[in-house]
Structure 1
Amino acid sequence: MAGEGEKMEVEPVPTTEDEEEDCSDLADLLSSVDDAAKSAADKIAILTSILSEPSNRYGPSASAVKERAVYALARAYCVDSKYDEVVTLLTGDICAPFFANVTKAKTAKVVRAVLDAVCALAPDELDMQAQVCRNIVSWCVAEKRTFLRQRVEAKLASVLFLQDKYGEALALLDNLLVELKKLDDKTLLVEVHLVESKVHHGLRGMAKSKAALTASRTNANAIYVAPALQSQIDLMSGVLHCEEGDYDTAHSYFLEAFEQLDQLDDREKAVPCLKYMMLCKILDGLSKALGISATGATGIRSDRNAADISGMISGKRGVKYAGTDVEAMSAIASAASKRSLKEYEAVIVRYPRELQDDLLIRHHLGTLQEQLLESNLIRIIEPYSCVEIEHVANLIEMPLPVVEKKLSQMILDGKFHGILDQGKGQLIVYEDAGTDKAMEKGLKVIENMDKVVTSLFSRSHNLRSMMV
């Protein structure tokens, strides 16, 4: 968003002098940059010469050429991995004459476009992105560009979130939200609340994350929201429902986000949505197959086809988004369907980047591993009333201390009834005792009698008060 002065300022009306201004030499230089034979250094030198040409031409035509030169120079620096130059490009001497001779609205447009291009061309260079944002914020403070500063600070907060610097991002967002609520800038409030929700989710504060997402949705309902931003809101809604164990609702939100991104042909953001949809299908199917809910209820069934996701990756979707990410989730689904802990661990080792880099997938695959381990242990000990723990560890092919610790945890959680005889190294499993109906009814009678006595005592107390 532009500042107050930026809102009111319009492009100057071309004069006769501007119309007659000859900038064909600059246009020719800019066109020569497209020559594939030129090296990156030559392209950078040509673009720099356009921005620092001695004639100081800043008419409409010359400004348009120089604007394109700024974009091309940012791309050239990123392609050539000259990230130090990227950091100082906008706030250094190269762009200073151009920004000093164009309108504030044009300056804000160029700064935001270059920042978006740099983040897209070098997505893994988070330190560079953060430093670029900080430089622009300092420049905005010096130039009193309040609205542009707020936009860049929102971008900086999202970069800090990607760097896992949650505390620093949250402090920046808190100050920014105070300013934005005074201005009632709903467009930016939607984005900032969305980033705030992601930060709280990273800190595992689900209640605050949900509150921030609700605030983002509330502001979004009052304005038009671009499909790209709406997809991110739906994606975050799916993430929070997935964390709550409501996999059906989460799947529907992920599907909404995926379809919007698919229409925008944004493969980079659509693939994670597809992975999340597959994750929800796997978790929901395994929960039903094992009879284990999100909170860990007991009971097992042997429906092994419940975690099958072959239908989700067939047809156009499978062809368009085929790759290692989809292969990794398919392998996880196969291991979950077979309830094979060994195969599951092999998949984790085979696809570390696809399965461990994403916060949501990493967290829920840990839950999935616990469910698989519990289901395999229950299946092994089910025929026995007394079994050696070492024998169980050999069958499941895991270290004895790990198995012993897990069995004790399952006993405490009520997954099955039994005790560990550590002196003999044995697990004693008790049969599930049926509930005593007479005891339950007796307790219910006592509870009702207590309510009656309490009510009579209250009435007698009121009568005494009236007599006095």
Structure 2
Amino acid sequence: MSRLEDAKAIQKSDPAKAEAEYKAILSRKPDTTDAALKEYEQALLALGELYRDGGRTQELAALVEQTMSVLNQFAKSKTNKLVRQMIDLFSTIPDTLDIQITLTKSCIQWAVNERRTFLRQGLETRLIALYLEKNAYKDAIDLINTLLREIKRLDDKMVLVEVQLLESRAYHALRNIPKSRASLSAARTSANAVYCPPLMQAGLDMQSGILHAEEKDFNTAYSYFIEAMEGYHTQDETKKATDALKYMLLCRIMENQTDEVNSILVGKHALKYAGRDLEAMKAIARAHTDKSLAAFEQALNSYKDELTADRFIRSHSTDLYDNLLQQNLLRVIEPFSRVEIAHIAKLVGLDTPQVEAKLSRMILDKKLSGVLDQGTGCLIIFEETGKDKSYDAAIATIKKLSDVVDVLYTNQAALLD
């Protein structure tokens, strides 16, 4: 049994000794033979995994930095893969976003110095994704613009699709929906020219569903989320598959199709990805069906992380809550022509300022005909009056008279000529 195999055998039982063995292997300058380079690569990844499992982020970052000088002895394709594998080790360690950004920038600088163009482009693409995760949208957009100009000259379709998809996500996060849709359309056009891997296709479907949901086309969004979920499911991307399943449930809730929500929750995929995420969507669906503000608020409090951490879920659950609040307010004030705001707040179980703000917005949006009397703290509801059709008739008559006058003027001008 080799020294490397011995270290792997005791990695879990005696990590300190295994670490020492890995370091001993890495301290020797590797030969250029395939066997020596393979042993060095395996020891490097094994030590990185040991640091990852122990949450030793500083040591892991230092390991990546230290091995940069040795990577010149590897083939370029092997170097690219190895660097990405080492950086990927951070993805499962929480609260390492800043370290990942710093380390990725350092690797990019090394790739620039070594003139490794494809590695640099891959690392810059990863850096964009990290910027989006950190909500540093300006940095992401600036890097995207620079990288897109270069990639378009090289005509590298695969990288182009990935960067354009990231661009769509960045603009969506900035609420620039037209630019986000344009970037997604460009990404799909580029993807049609090459083979698109399943994960990339699932990402395109996920973003398409999100943008259709922004336009309130929840049926089309639902079909895209199904495709995305199937794609992530086949690639064992549990987190992303769960997100797609949550978005499917949200679309059905937004369409008031809670029966389908229950059907999805007892399906085979829901059983595999069962957990607090799906329980949160189930609670939202139940509250929406019962039209209960109290149940909705309880769900928001009980599943705060699951419903607020995701920007898409947070945005649409807020819309659901506002619609539910509006329906409850309209039902409560229906018997009254004048009612105290405090009494309305008591009936719906909310604070008076919150109810007053919502009533004010409903009046401005012309969803409620009335006025707020802040002096007395009352809402005065106006009687609904039917539309007077005489105005439309008068406008139509005036238009016809205008047409007649135009014809007479044209005829008179022709006679004078």
TM-score, structure 2 length as denominator? 0.94
Instruction: Tell me how far apart the structure 2 counterparts of residues 460 and 146 of structure 1 sit (CA, whole Å).
Output: 77
How much has 1:387 moved relative to structure 2? 1.8
Q: Bigger shift: 362-371 or 314-323? A: 314-323
Over aligned residue pairs, what C-alpha RMSD do you find?
Answer: 2.1
Deviations 1:160-205 (A, max 9, x none): 1000111111111111111111111110000000111111111111
Which residue in 1 is equivalent to 2:76?
A: 104
Q: Is the 8 A contact 1:247 1:284 kept in 2?
A: yes
* 8 Å contact from structure 1 (residues 420, 426) kept in 2: yes
List runs of 5+ in structure 2 lacking aligned partners: none
CA distance in 2, matches of 1:229, 1:451: 59
- Taking structure 1 as reference, are residues 416 and 59 closer, same or farther at Cα in structure 2, changes over 3 Å only? same
Aligned mate of 1:203, from 174, 180, 187: 174
How far apart are the structure 1 equivalents of 2:218 and 2:169?
Answer: 19
Deviates more, 1:355-364 or 1:60-69: 60-69
Instruction: Give per-residue Cα distances to partners, 1:89-147, cap 9 Å, x unaligned.
Output: 3332x4523x132222221221123223432x326421121112111101011111111
Post-superposition shift, 1:378?
0.2
Give, in whole Å, the separation in 2 of the partners of 1:322 and 1:84. Answer: 34
1:308–1:333 contact (8 Å) kept in structure 2: no
Deviations 1:274-312 (A, max 9, x none): 111111111111xxxxxxxxxxxxxxxxxxx75761111
Partner of 1:315: 267
The equivalent residue for 2:150 is: 179
Q: Is the Cα–Cα contact under 8 Å of residues 193 and 215 in structure 1 kept in the other structure?
A: yes
- 1:401 offset after TM fit, Å? 2.2
Cα deviation for residue 433 of structure 1 reads 1.5
Aligned residue in 2 for 1:86: 60
Of the three residues 422, 447, 461, the one matched with 2:374 is 422
**What is the aligned partner in structure 2 of residue 66 from structure 1?**
40
Match for residue 412 of structure 1 among 361, 364, 377:
364
* Range 43-52 or range 176-185, more displaced: 43-52
The question of whether the paired residues in 1 share the 8 Å contact of 2:3 and 2:21 is answered with no
Q: Which residue does 2:348 correspond to in 1?
A: 396
Q: 1:117 to 1:458 in 2, by over 3 A?
A: farther
Alpha-carbon separation, structure 2, partners of 1:175 and 1:335? 47
Report the alpha carbon displacement of residue 272 of structure 1 after superposing the two structures with TM.
Answer: 0.4
Which residue of structure 2 aligns with residue 12 of structure 1? none
For 1:356, the equivalent position in structure 2 comes to 308
Aligned match of 2:213 in 239, 242, 249?
A: 242
8 Å CA contact retained: 1:238, 1:253: yes
1:368 and 2:320 aligned:
yes
Q: Using the alignment, how far apart are the partners of 2:104 and 2:336 within structure 1?
A: 63
String of CA shifts for 1:6-38, please: whole Å, max 9, x gaps: xxxxxxxxxxxxxxxxxx7xx432443232554
Q: CA separation in 2, counterparts of 1:238 and 1:460?
A: 61
Q: What do residues 223-260 of structure 1 show as CA deviations (whole Å, max 9, x unaligned)?
A: 00100110010000001111111111111100110111
CA distance in 1, matches of 2:34, 2:109: 28
Answer yes or no: is the 8 Å Cα contact 2:291–2:324 preserved in 1: yes
Deviation string 1:330-389 (CA, Å, 9 cap, x unpaired) is 001111111111111111111111011001011111111111111110010112222222
For 1:203 and 1:182, how far apart are their aligned partners in 2? 27
Q: Is the 8 A contact 2:280 2:303 kept in 1?
A: yes
**How far has the Cα of 1:453 moved from its partner?**
3.8
SS in 1 for 2:380: strand
Matches of 1:114 and 1:168, distance apart in 2: 24
Unaligned stretches of 5+ in structure 1? 1-23, 286-304
Q: From the superposition, tell whether residues 308 and 335 of structure 1 become closer, same or farther in structure 2 (CA, over 3 Å).
A: farther
Distance (whole Å) between structure 1 residues aligned to residue 146 and residue 266 of structure 2: 47
| 2:295 alignment partner, one of 322, 330, 343 | 343
Counterpart of 1:113?
Answer: 85
Match in the other structure for 1:75: 49
1:377 correspondence with 2:377? no
User: Are 2:57 and 2:90, in contact at CA under 8 Å, matched by a contact in 1?
Assistant: no
Question: Aligned partners of 1:183 and 1:100: how far apart in 2?
Answer: 24
TM-score with structure 1 setting the length = 0.84
In structure 1, C-alpha distance between the alignment counterparts of 2:216 and 2:272, rounded to whole Å:
29
- Cα contact 1:30–1:46 (8 A) shared by 2: no
Q: Which residue of 2 aligns with 1:233?
A: 204
1:209-224 mapped onto 2 (5 Å cutoff): 209-224=180-195
1: CA distance between counterparts of 2:176 and 2:206? 17
Partner amino acid, structure 1, of 2:58: D
- How high is the sequence identity, in percent, across the aligned residues? 39
| Rounded Cα–Cα distance in structure 2 between residues aligned with 1:112 and 1:438 | 73
Map of 2:18 onto structure 1: 43
More helix by share: 2
Contact 1:88 1:132 in 2 (8 A): no
Matched position secondary structure for 1:427: strand
Secondary structure of 1:377 counterpart:
helix
Aligned to 1:28: 3
Task: Report SS of the residue matched to 1:387.
Answer: strand
Determine which structure has greater relative contact order: mean sequence separation of CA pairs < 8 Å that are 6+ residues apart, divided by chain length.
Answer: 1
Residues 88 and 266 of structure 1: CA distance in aligned 2, closer, same or farther (over 3 Å): same
**Within the alignment, does 1:387 sit opposite 2:339 as a pair?**
yes
Letter in 2 for 1:418: G
Alpha-carbon distance between aligned partners in 1 of 2:364 and 2:409, rounded to the nearest angstrom: 41
- Counting matched residue pairs gives 417
Mark the CA change 1:453 to 1:130 in structure 2 (over 3 Å): closer, same or farther: farther
Are residues 421 and 215 of structure 1, via their aligned partners in 2, closer, same or farther at CA, if it must alter by over 3 Å? same
Is 1:450 matched up with 2:411? Answer: no
- Distance in 1 between residues matched to 2:43 and 2:409, nearest whole Å: 88
Inter-partner Cα distance in structure 2 for 1:460 and 1:349:
76
